[in-house]
Amino acid sequence: MNHGNTSPQEREARSLLPLGAALTSLTLLLSACVIDPGPPNQNGQGNETPNTPTPSPSNEEEREGQAIASSTSSSSDIGPDLQVDIYALERVGNNLLRLRLGITNKSSKEFYLYAGLADSENPYTASRITLIDAENQNRHLSHNQSDGSCFCLPFEGSISSGETTETWVIYPEPPPEVEAMTVVTPLTPPFLDVPISNSSEAIESQGISEPEIRDLTMISDSTEDQTGRTESSDEVSIILSSDVLFETNSADLSPDAEEILQQVASEIDDANSSTVSIDGHADNTGSDSVNLPLSQERAETVESVLADLITRSGIRFEVEGHGASEPIANNDTAEGRERNRRVSVTFEK
């Protein structure tokens, strides 16, 4: 994939994105569709309509393998033939929450699931599934054990045709008043409003990591901070204003830059892409001898910071400075020049 040229979506972007984006995060989640498995259509796929889970059964009624929410994959090699079912999201004492789920291979061939739901250090788990607490605007990451491994139930890498493999993941518990959370997986649309039940089991909490709960902030569109984003079905391009990131005529970061780049890093951590493209751009003030090296240095600075902030391994960066050669606004106005001074960060979802 070549990101050296500005995409049509970026050229059409007219408002650029900010920090306080909790509302945008909620809009993103609430607009995502959860697929109801429903009656199969002629292609053998479920009906693709927005859905939320039915109320969780009581402990007495709850039985293994009974799904309270289901969705088919939107980003696996076998597509909708890979189904993810949630059996329970339950409090298990000691300030812990357990997500129980099953993964079903509905294709005619064996499917190899290595790190589709996991980070590279915890293969054959569902460690990359996260939980969203919309009431308190934060994201819960899975717990690690004392040896650094995910507090998860590992499973075999391959799933035979027609087979379901079951697993679970442990998370920090939300406050008692939170009755439902959104489950976000790398392979499916988000599961909205999954109800939280109470398990009769208790999970020991000795020797596990400190809870990792991140603020639910996400870059969103704003003319005030002159930052923005464009998205296609496969790719995200985050456009960051150089005036926000850097000191004037410098590649030195501003005091606000790290918080912004932390948000970008979090999105990359949650994506599947192994390649991140970083492109620096300038307005037409000054000559190419100034603009080209400055845009390159600024892109390299962003690369250096993101490389430290991204927790996922195996990321490769493609960095290029374009000077003033690819404007997205009119350089004849101060507002246009401000929009053209930018760094874009592009990666696959």
pLDDT score at 99: 98
pLDDT of 227 reads: 59
pLDDT at 330 > cutoff 80: yes
The letter for the amino acid at 95 is N
Q: What is the mean pLDDT of the chain?
A: 79
In this prediction, residue 156 carries a pLDDT of 84
Which residues, in sequence order, are bridge partners of residue 262?
none
pLDDT score recorded for residue 272: 84
Contacts of 256 (CB under 8 A, 6+ apart): 19, 244
Q: Where are the domains of the chain?
A: 8-21+217-348, 28-215
What's phi and psi for 72, nearest 5 deg? -100, 160
Question: Which tokens hold the place of 3?
Answer: 């990101």
Q: What are residue 340's phi and psi, to 5 degrees?
A: -75, -20
- Cβ burial of 32 (10 Å; 0-12, 13-18, 19+) is middle
Phi, psi dihedral angles at 325 (to 5 degrees): -75, -15
The one-letter amino acid code at 36 reads D
Tell me, what's the pLDDT at 115?
77
**pLDDT band for position 7 (50/70/90)?**
very low
Amino acid at 56: S
- pLDDT band at 97; cut points 50, 70, 90: very high
DSSP-derived letter for residue 15 is S
In the chain, the percentage of residues whose pLDDT exceeds 70 is 77
Kindly tell me if the per-residue pLDDT of 181 is higher than 90: yes
64-83 mean pLDDT: 83
pLDDT confidence bin for 166, thresholds 50/70/90: very high
More confident residue, 200 or 37: 200
Could you tell me the CATH superfamily of domain 8-21+217-348? OmpA-like domain (3.30.1330.60)
State the DSSP H helix or E strand holding residue 240, giving kind and residue range, or none if neither: strand 235-241
Could you read off the pLDDT of 265-296 as tens digits, one per residue? 988 988 888 999 999 999 999 889 999 999 99
Residue 52 has pLDDT above 50, yes or no: no
Of residues 92, 128, 120, 87, the one with CA closest to residue 104 = 87
Over its C-alpha atoms, the chain yields an Rg (Å, rounded) of 22
DSSP-H helix ranges across the chain: 8-12, 22-31, 242-245, 257-270, 288-309, 334-340
Q: What is the mean pLDDT of residues 75-93?
A: 91
CA torsion angle 17 21 24 28 (round to 10): 100
pLDDT one-digit tens code per residue, 187-196: 887 888 999 9
| Top mean-pLDDT range of 8-12, 49-53, 159-163 | 159-163
User: What percentage of residues in the chain have a pLDDT greater than 90?
Assistant: 42
The string of pLDDT tens digits covering residues 204-263 is 888 898 998 877 544 444 444 455 777 776 788 899 999 889 988 899 988 778 888 988
At residue 113, φ and ψ (nearest 5 deg) are -105, 100
Pairing of strands 275-281, 235-241: unpaired
For the segment 110-140, what is each residue's pLDDT rounded down to a tens digit? 998 887 888 778 889 999 899 989 888 788 9
Give the pLDDT score at 247. Answer: 86
| SS3 annotation, 175-223 | CCCCCEEEEECCCCCCEEEEEEEECCCCCCCCCECCCCEEECCCCCCEC
Helix (H) or strand (E) holding 229: strand 228-231
Residues 158 and 113: beta-carbon distance below 8 Å: yes
Of 274, 263, 99, 264, the closest CA to residue 173 belongs to 99
Res. 162 pLDDT band, cuts 50 70 90: very high
* CA distances to 27, 141, 216 from 135, in Å: 13, 16, 10
The confidence score (pLDDT) of residue 221 equals: 45
Contacts 24+ apart (CB under 8 A), 324-330: 324/281, 324/282, 324/283, 324/284, 324/288, 324/291, 326/5, 326/6, 326/281, 327/281, 327/283, 327/284, 328/6, 328/10, 328/11, 328/13
Asked whether residue 41 carries a pLDDT value surpassing 70, the answer given is: no
The C-alpha atoms of residue 298 and residue 282 are separated, in whole angstroms, by 10
